[in-house]
């Protein structure tokens, strides 16, 4: 697996964070796991106690969804290894699937099954570190219409890897791409709220960019069988 594949996974994670299904919910997620109201979060840059509490809760939340995503990566790569003798065909099929997901995210093709949320419903968890971790686990299964195709695309690519470790690496980097901006938001939630006010008018453009990104990745797999020829 090339470094380009890892870079693509990191970018996919970052695009998941800024997707219209996730970005508007970030303040609510942080408020939920930290037990601090959104109003207090807006002022937390000036309150070290709030900041420390939010950062630690965010780390446990990130650990929760990372474990699930990495487990998914290991699982799909194990499956891919079972048909490794057809790896070239598998990569081309994976490319086609990723292109379809890209067309869906960009809004150019409508895939109705991807418009229905699939999420574990859990009762409100008290704002503890364990509660934040469990919330992260639940978040990982929230296959929302925007994030689902991006994550599924990385999982599809992971299925084409030669070893389970490479699949784990891909999903670890994807989790990092999603987790880093979330962690930065925990450090400076007030700044994030200001940022969101500026970017919310461009959420549809972000969808289109995300879709084009996946279409390019899928096209590379279809026509070249890998991502290693970019540079």
Q: If you average pLDDT over every residue of the chain, what do you get?
A: 80
Segment 122-168, tens digit of pLDDT:
455 556 888 889 888 888 876 555 567 888 889 888 988 888 999 99
Question: 225 vs 70, 92, 96, 161, 218, CA distance in Å?
Answer: 23, 6, 11, 11, 9
CA distance 65 to 57: 13
Which among 176, 147, 160 has a CA at the least distance from the CA of 220? 160
Given CA atoms 31, 32, 36, 39 in this order, what sign does their dihedral have?
A: positive
CA distance 173 to 10: 5
CA distance 168 to 77: 8
CB 154 within 8 A of CB 171: yes
Residue 14 domain-assigned (yes or no): yes
Q: Rounded to two decimals, what is the model's pTM?
A: 0.81
Averaging pLDDT over each range in 29-33, 44-48, 215-219, which range is the top one?
Answer: 215-219
CA distance 59 to 183: 7
Residue 156 domain-assigned (yes or no): yes
99 pLDDT higher than 50: yes
* Number of domain units in the chain: 1
- Please give the pLDDT value at position 112: 65
Residue 229 domain-assigned (yes or no): no
Residue 211 domain-assigned (yes or no): yes
51 pLDDT higher than 90: no
Q: Which residue has the higher pLDDT, 77 or 122?
A: 77
Lowest mean pLDDT among 37-46, 95-104, 182-191: 37-46
Residue 230 domain-assigned (yes or no): no
Q: What percent of the chain has pLDDT over 70?
A: 79
Residue 38 domain-assigned (yes or no): yes
Residue 10 domain-assigned (yes or no): yes
Chain-centroid distance, C-alpha 142: 10
Residue 34 belongs to domain spanning: 3-224
Dihedral angle at the C-alpha atoms of 78, 80, 85, 88, nearest 10 degrees? -150
Q: What percent of the chain has pLDDT over 90?
A: 21
Segment 190-213, tens digit of pLDDT:
778 778 878 878 888 888 998 899
Residue 183 domain-assigned (yes or no): yes
Averaging pLDDT over each range in 1-5, 60-64, 152-156, which range is the top one?
Answer: 60-64
């Amino acid at each position: 697996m090339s470094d380009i594949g890892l870079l693509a996974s990191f970018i996919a994670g970052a695009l998941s964070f800024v997707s219209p299904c996730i970005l508007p919910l970030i303040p609510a997620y942080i408020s939920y796991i930290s037990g601090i109201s959104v109003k207090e979060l807006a002022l937390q840059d000036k309150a070290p106690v709030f900041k420390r509490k939010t950062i630690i809760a965010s780390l446990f939340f990130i650990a929760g969804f990372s474990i699930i995503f990495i487990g998914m990566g290991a699982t799909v790569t194990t499956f891919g290894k079972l048909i490794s003798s057809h790896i070239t065909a598998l990569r081309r099929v994976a490319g086609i699937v990723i292109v379809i997901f890209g067309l869906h995210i960009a809004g150019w093709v409508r895939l109705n099954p991807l418009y229905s949320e699939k999420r574990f419903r859990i009762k409100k968890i008290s704002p503890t570190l364990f509660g934040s971790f469990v919330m992260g686990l639940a978040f990982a299964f929230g296959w929302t219409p925007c994030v689902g195709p991006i994550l599924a695309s990385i999982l599809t690519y992971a299925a084409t890897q030669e070893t389970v470790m490479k699949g784990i690496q891909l999903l670890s980097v994807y989790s990092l791409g999603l987790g880093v901006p979330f962690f930065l938001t925990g450090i400076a939630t007030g700044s994030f709220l200001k940022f969101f006010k500026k970017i919310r008018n461009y959420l549809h453009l972000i969808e289109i960019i995300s879709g084009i990104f996946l279409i390019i990745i899928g096209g590379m797999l279809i026509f070249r069988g890998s991502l290693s020829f970019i540079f």
